[in-house]
Copies of this chain bind each other. A is one copy, B any other.
């Protein structure tokens, strides 16, 4: 079982155009800074938060209780022109946890209901189970894309690879994939075996012609699993392996 948090800006869309449309770069600055604050807050408590849609952020927050989430809401209210509602949920998979986190927010009212402000609803988790963090990157992204393609084309190509990955892992395994910049994506997954990751990588190669590599960690917090995943990915880079599971060196699969 894993805990997810949906962080939703209250009535944000209407605010961006009231009384008339606000400068786009101000909005981008606001959204990026707010996400950075959330990432710092959640990350220093061993969770992971993702930008997602910017006004709807998803976080995996094992170990953060309601008080911590309240403190984050207070901090946003005190420093930004917008407020934050939070849905908390738990589930056997990341997908189920996010669904559980979404429900109490939707039940409390519309995201554009001016009266629904700073809701904190849903359940937190007493005893988390281990889950997987899978850290993917693109094989030779610098040579194959950054140094050889025009910047936007490289971005589109890499995006299409991660898009194929996200759909595969979501539909097949209730896992949630997020682009995290550069040539990196992070998938938060239920415990999966190495062949499942191999299959996903093979799918992306055939569907989008992008070669991925993955390191996978398994732990009870996102930071612990994610750091193991990063080390596994480094081993994969060094040894030219496609899939490296931190939990079992023998599960490493030849590239």
Contacts of A182 in B (CB 8 A): 12-13, 16, 53-56
Stretch from A33-41, A124-132, A196-204, A247-255 at the B interface: A33-41
Q: Which of B25, B56, B230 has a CB less than 8 Å from the CB of A17?
A: B230
> How many residues belonging to A are interface residues under a CB distance threshold of 8 Å?
91
Interface string of A71-82 (1 = CB under 8 A from B): 110110111110
Q: Is the interface of A mostly helix, strand, loop or mixed?
A: helix
Contacts of A152 in B (CB 8 A): 52, 58, 95, 98, 170, 176
Q: Is A227 an interface residue (CB 8 A)?
A: yes
Q: Is A189 an interface residue (CB 8 A)?
A: no
Q: Is A3 an interface residue (CB 8 A)?
A: no
- Evaluate contact between A79 and B78: CB separation under 8 angstroms: no
CA distance A152 to B97 in the complex (A): 11
Interface string of A81-94 (1 = CB under 8 A from B): 10000000000000
Enumerate A1-19 residues with CB–CB distance to B below 8 Å: 6, 8, 12-13, 16-17
CA distance A167 to B153 in the complex (A): 10
- Please, could you name 23 A-B residue pairs with CB atoms under 8 Å apart, sorted by A? A6-B151, A13-B142, A13-B182, A13-B183, A23-B43, A23-B78, A24-B226, A27-B78, A28-B36, A28-B39, A28-B43, A32-B36, A33-B33, A40-B41, A41-B44, A52-B151, A53-B155, A55-B181, A56-B146, A58-B151, A111-B142, A111-B146, A159-B163
A interface, CB within 8 angstroms of B: 6, 8, 12-13, 16-17, 20-33, 35-37, 39-44, 47-49, 51-56, 58, 71-72, 74-75, 77-81, 95, 98-99, 101-102, 106, 110-112, 141-143, 146-156, 158-160, 163, 166-167, 170, 176, 180-183, 186, 223, 226-227, 230-231, 233-234
